[in-house]
Amino acid sequence: MSKKLIVSAALLLWSCTFAEAKTYREIFGREAELPAELKTLVESLDYKQGIVDLPLAHAKLNIPAEFYFLNQADTARVLTQLWGNPPAAAEGSLGMIFPVKYAPESSDSWGSVIDYVDDGYVSDIDAQATDFDALLTELKQAAIEGNLQREKDGYDPITLVGWASPPFYEKSAHTLHWARDLLFGKDANSPHTLNYSLRILGREGILELNFVAGLEQLPEIKASIPSMTKIATFDSGKAYTDFRDGDKLAAYGMAGLIAAGAGAKIAAKVGFLAIALAFLKKGGVILLIAGGAIVRFAKGLFGQKTPPSA
């Protein structure tokens, strides 16, 4: 894990120049091998490495050579046009980080959607005292209760199978990450879905990284976490350690941050169970490349509603 999250702006400026847009060929060393429409899409994206400013989050990202960044508009194009998710999947995002080993159209690609929630300072006083096994039990029960209403509304149930990776708080870096193993529908043999979350705490809010990946990619995601926890730095005076008495306090601590999953802002908007998965592994691009007209929309929060039985 990273030794320290907060680094000086001077060090960032010394280590990496401010990001400039790069082409598909510059990032991947080849032309995109896709049908014309999709080729135009992926080659028109602004791939960025280096320092990216996130003014709404009072932070900067230092994108190293093993990753690339897409801005808010390009993130929406990837999530909706390329990966087949509905528009709600991209609402409010500040951008997205991808591993450079995968082009966005690759069936193996994954990425982390970036959001910021200005709920205030989240106290970490309960981090060591929280019983995450007990919290998991409570979350499972909440999912069961929530499914009663979901099914009444014509939606598939969501089963919280367990932790794909248990919650871990790195106090020195003020970062919290965890992963849920989720199952959609009533077929126990259906593929499981990964819901991996990373939270970087600041003085006035939380920088959220929500990974869009399949459960089979868990080892890759976990391997990326040390780099991801070091990829962001808050602006001067906005870091977690800059907290002063009288600052705005979040209405929840570590346990509440995990329970909400996507943050209190989304929790208030769509309800507890719906936020269990803000983003799902994409799949539409594979079908589009194959020439099919079907786009597999994400389930759960973005699931297709089925008519209730008579």
**Closest listed residue to residue 233, CA positions, set 59, 50, 105, 84:** 59
271 is a domain residue: yes
Give the span between the Cα atoms of 212 and 89, in whole angstroms.
Answer: 11
Within-domain flag for 66: yes
Q: List C-alpha distances in Å: 296 to 44, 85, 300.
A: 24, 8, 13
Rounded to whole angstroms, the Cα distance separating 310 from 301 reads 24
- The pLDDT value recorded for residue 280 is 35
Say yes or no to pLDDT of 162 above 70: yes
Answer whether residue 55 is part of any domain.
yes
pLDDT score of 303 more than 60: no
Give domain status of residue 84, yes or no: yes
The rounded mean pLDDT for the chain is: 78
Which residue from 112, 109, 102, 49 is spatially nearest to 83, judged by alpha carbons? Answer: 109
pLDDT at 49: 95
Q: Is 158 contained in some domain?
A: yes
Q: Which of residues 307 and 167 earns the better pLDDT score?
A: 167
pLDDT for the residue 279: 31
The better pLDDT of the pair 202, 144 is held by 202
* Domain assignment of residue 3, yes or no: no
CA 13 to chain centre: 26
122 inside domain: yes
CA distance 288 to 105: 10
Domains held by the chain: number: 1
Of 36-45, 86-95, 235-244, where does mean pLDDT reach its minimum? Answer: 86-95
Kindly report, residue by residue over 45-75, the tens digit of the pLDDT. 999 999 999 999 999 999 999 999 999 999 9
What is the extent of the structural domain holding 71? 9-301
Cα torsion for 273, 69, 104, 182, to the nearest 10°? -20
pLDDT beyond 80 at 294: no
Domain for residue 26, yes or no? Answer: yes
pLDDT at position 203, please? Answer: 97
More confident position, 103 or 295: 103
